């Protein structure tokens, strides 16, 4: 499992880049139907220098530099610019080492040994050692923590250093995918002093924080002693919080910023006409979901759930809500890019007759349910609810769409009402995805689903080292989720960004938005 960075001479680098670009072109061939501009065909060599400006639709005066309370893209970008992480998801979707040079599980996958990279320096001059890693991970554990990563890390039993360059993490149960957890944007490695991490923004990433005005903008400069070759090309970059999508688009078209996230899909076709812009669209793990409480009537009957699943017109949702920038969902949360994706599982389609059949089987002639939606879940959630209402009516199902206030939606409505709208940013592994919201007793199990066979498989697959066996298990789990589960997953939404043609990039990672939040590290400016 040794995965390192390519330190080889330039020619090898170029060859590698050619391969990456070739792969990217291949991806475009598939993606062109959904409207990706084929400007990547031209292979550009990255250039050093320049000041890169990006406008993002998030950022708040209440943001903090503490990775435990990072909230939304504005801070996530800084996480991956100021800090290093143990592992990294490559644009091709492979887990590679970042601060960890290699890692090794014990036979039962319960103990993980991470070997740290040599010669990594923090912005304050300190060298990276194992104690920094221990303190940084522990920052998200224990009773005092405010971190959203507390839950995923609850299986960590103990974490200790073994010499300056080795970290040993033992888990309460085997988990083959554990290293994937370590690339999460909250698990930044910070310099530690007396066992306490420094949460002031000092890291060992490619950029040093220059100034931050929370909720407005922040700038960072290239770190002169950054260890990673062929990355962090920019002299400096600036992130602007521009929450209004029209203001963001205006800033991009008038050349005040180089890139923006969360494009307005309704007007994207007009934006595409602008020759100075490139629209990038990557399909990732982000998906929309409708959770039903399987322990509450009428959703406690599997046929009612199936009727509701068949009554959803997914293609229409993809065409209208996402303007085609997405993929159809199959009522399970595993993305098609995941290596354990069940390729041969039949796609669920809109079928009012089947919906009626299942209603009948449940002993019902008609069905009336209340569905709570809010734009806090995702833009257009209420509109999607109304579309669903129309389609379901043809199957004899009356859906009463309740527009819930965006303010406080996740506190008062989601997981409080029996049938609600939600979105998931997605998780990089099948296990993590399932254990976040589908495992019995998980904090965010939005459907209260407790399928014994599913849970048995989930735990078995977690510590199964044989990939072929794991694949079979995950396929069965996806099928269970699809046919028995309490969650409707109509679509996977792409990450759609608009970039000035002055921005150079290789294949864009699909793990998270903006090249897996590594845009500042991976992108460059062509006009410097």
Partner 1 sequence: MESIAKIIGQRVAFGALTLWIVSLIIFAGVQLLPGDIATELLGQSATPETVAALRKSLGLDIPAYLRYFDWLRSILQGNFGTALANGRDIAELIEPRLFNTLLLAASAAVISVPLALIGGIVSALYRNTFIDRAINVVTLASISFPEFFVAYILILFLAVNAGILPSLSDVDQSTSALGRLTAMALPALTLAVVVLAHMLRMTRTSIVNLLGNQYIETARLKGLPEWRVLVRHALPNALGPIATVIVLNLAYLITGVVVVEVVFVYPGLGQLIVDSVQKRDIPVVQACSLIFAATYVLLNLTADVLSIVMNPRLMRPK
Nearer to partner 1, 42 or 407 (CB): 407
Q: Does 246 bind partner 1 (CB under 8 A)?
A: yes
CB of 130 to partner 1, least distance (A): 27
Q: Which of 21, 64, 113, 316 binds partner 1 (CB under 8 A)?
A: 64
Q: Are 57 and 248 a contacting pair, CB within 8 Å? A: yes
Tell me how far the alpha carbon of residue 525 is from its chain's centroid. Answer: 25
> How many C-beta atoms lie closer than 10 Å to residue 371's C-beta?
23
Nearer to partner 1, 146 or 368 (CB): 146
Instruction: Give residues 37-56 in contact with partner 1 (rule: CB under 8 A).
Output: 55
Nearer to partner 1, 144 or 365 (CB): 144
User: What residues does 289 pair with on adjacent strands?
Assistant: 422
Strand blocks (E) in 147-258: 156-161, 166-171, 192-193, 196-197, 207-213, 217-222, 236-241
Taking contact as CB under 8 A, which single stretch among the options 1-9, 144-152, 157-165, 345-353 is the one that binds partner 1?
144-152
Nearer to partner 1, 116 or 384 (CB): 384
- Peptide linkage before 298 cis (omega within 30 of 0): yes
Cβ-based burial of 148 (10 A; exposed 0-12, middle 13-18, buried ≥19): middle
Q: Does 213 bind partner 1 (CB under 8 A)?
A: yes
What is the residue whose two structure tokens read 């950054």?
A: 226
d(CA 513, CA 198): 27
Taking contact as CB under 8 A, which single stretch among the options 41-49, 120-128, 244-252, 457-465 is the one that binds partner 1?
244-252
What is the residue whose two structure tokens read 């291949």?
A: 26
d(CA 201, CA 212): 10
Instruction: Give residues 400-429 in contact with partner 1 (rule: CB under 8 A).
Output: 405, 407-408, 410-412, 414, 422
Q: Which of 147, 155, 313, 379 binds partner 1 (CB under 8 A)?
A: 147
CB of 271 to partner 1, least distance (A): 12
Give the C-alpha distances (Å, rounded to integers) separating 107 from 159, 173, 285, 463: 18, 12, 30, 9
CB of 200 to partner 1, least distance (A): 12
Nearer to partner 1, 281 or 497 (CB): 497
Q: Does 301 bind partner 1 (CB under 8 A)?
A: no
CB of 409 to partner 1, least distance (A): 9
Radius of gyration of the CA atoms of the chain, in A: 23
Q: Does 528 bind partner 1 (CB under 8 A)?
A: no
Nearer to partner 1, 136 or 478 (CB): 136
d(CA 181, CA 185): 9
Nearer to partner 1, 167 or 413 (CB): 413
> How many C-beta atoms lie closer than 10 Å to residue 152's C-beta?
19
For the four alpha carbons of 13, 18, 22 and 25, in that order, the dihedral sign comes to positive
Q: Does 241 bind partner 1 (CB under 8 A)?
A: yes
Binding interface with partner 1 (CB under 8 A): 55, 60-64, 69, 71, 143-148, 150-151, 213-217, 240-244, 246-247, 250-251, 253-254, 256-257, 405, 407-408, 410-412, 414, 422, 443-444
């Amino acid at each position: 499992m040794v995965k390192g960075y390519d330190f080889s001479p330039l020619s090898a680098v170029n060859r590698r880049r050619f391969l990456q670009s070739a792969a990217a072109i291949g991806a475009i061939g598939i993606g062109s139907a959904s409207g990706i501009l084929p400007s990547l065909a031209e292979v550009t060599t990255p250039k050093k220098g320049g000041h890169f400006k990006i406008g993002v639709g998030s950022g708040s005066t209440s943001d903090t530099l503490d990775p435990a309370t990072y909230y939304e893209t504005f801070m996530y970008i800084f996480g991956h610019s100021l800090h290093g992480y143990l592992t990294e998801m490559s644009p091709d979707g492979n887990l590679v080492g970042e601060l960890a040079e290699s890692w090794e599980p014990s036979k039962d996958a319960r103990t993980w040994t991470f070997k740290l990279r040599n010669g990594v320096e923090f912005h304050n001059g300190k060298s990276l050692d194992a104690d920094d890693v221990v303190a940084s991970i522990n920052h998200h554990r224990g009773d005092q923590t405010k971190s959203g990563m507390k839950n995923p890390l609850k299986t960590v039993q103990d974490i200790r250093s073994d010499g300056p360059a080795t970290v040993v993490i033992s888990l309460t149960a085997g988990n083959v995918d554990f290293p994937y957890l370590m690339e999460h944007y909250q698990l930044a490695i910070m310099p530690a002093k007396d066992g306490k991490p420094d949460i002031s923004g000092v890291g060992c990433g490619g950029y040093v924080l220059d100034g931050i005005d929370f909720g407005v903008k922040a700038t960072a400069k290239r770190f002169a002693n950054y260890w990673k070759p062929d990355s962090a090309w920019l002299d400096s970059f600036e992130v602007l919080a521009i929450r209004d999508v029209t203001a963001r688009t205006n800033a991009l078209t008038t050349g005040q910023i180089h890139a923006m996230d969360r494009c307005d899909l309704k007007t994207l076709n007009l934006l595409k006409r602008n020759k100075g812009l490139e629209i990038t669209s990557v399909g990732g793990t982000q998906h929309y979901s409708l959770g039903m409480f399987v322990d509450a009537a009428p959703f406690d009957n599997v046929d009612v759930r199936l009727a509701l699943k068949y009554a959803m017109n997914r293609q229409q949702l993809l065409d209208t809500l996402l303007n085609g920038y997405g993929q159809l969902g199959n009522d399970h949360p595993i993305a098609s890019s995941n290596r354990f994706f069940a390729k041969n599982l039949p796609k669920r389609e809109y079928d009012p007759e089947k919906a009626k059949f299942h209603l009948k089987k449940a002993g019902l002639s008609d069905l009336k349910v209340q569905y709570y939606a809010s734009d806090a879940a995702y833009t257009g959630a209420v509109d999607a609810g109304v579309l669903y209402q129309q389609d379901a009516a043809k199957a004899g199902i009356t859906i009463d769409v309740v527009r819930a206030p965006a303010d406080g939606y996740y506190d008062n409505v989601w997981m409080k009402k029996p049938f609600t709208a939600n979105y998931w940013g997605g998780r990089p592994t099948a296990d993590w995805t399932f254990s976040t919201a589908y495992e019995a007793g998980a904090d965010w199990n939005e459907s209260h689903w407790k399928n014994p066979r599913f849970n048995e498989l989930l735990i078995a697959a977690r510590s199964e080292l044989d990939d072929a066996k794991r694949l079979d298990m995950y396929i069965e789990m996806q099928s269970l989720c699809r046919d028995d589960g309490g969650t409707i997953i109509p679509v996977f939404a792409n990450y759609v960004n608009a970039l000035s043609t002055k921005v150079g990039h290789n294949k864009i990672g699909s793990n998270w938005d903006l090249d897996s939040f590594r845009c500042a590290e991976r992108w460059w400016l062509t006009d410097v």
